[in-house]
Amino acid sequence: MAYSIESVRVDVRIHWDFRGTMGVDCDVPVGATGIEMRTEVKLE
């Protein structure tokens, strides 16, 4: 079974509150708190 790929699309979103990374707010976590990824593959 062979497939030909016409296109690939990847959408990535990162949830990040910069206040924690910069040390502005000690109650906010440092770095990313969540990641969403969506992939779409279109076959010919």
pLDDT of the residue at 40: 97
Tens of pLDDT, residue by residue over 1-31, are 899 999 999 999 999 988 888 889 889 899 8
pLDDT at 20: 87
Q: How far apart are CA 26 and CA 44, in angstroms?
A: 51
Q: Which residue has the tokens 């790929």?
A: 5
**How many domains, the chain?**
1
Contacts of 38 (CB under 8 A, 6+ apart): 10, 11, 12
| Boundaries of domain holding 21 | 5-43
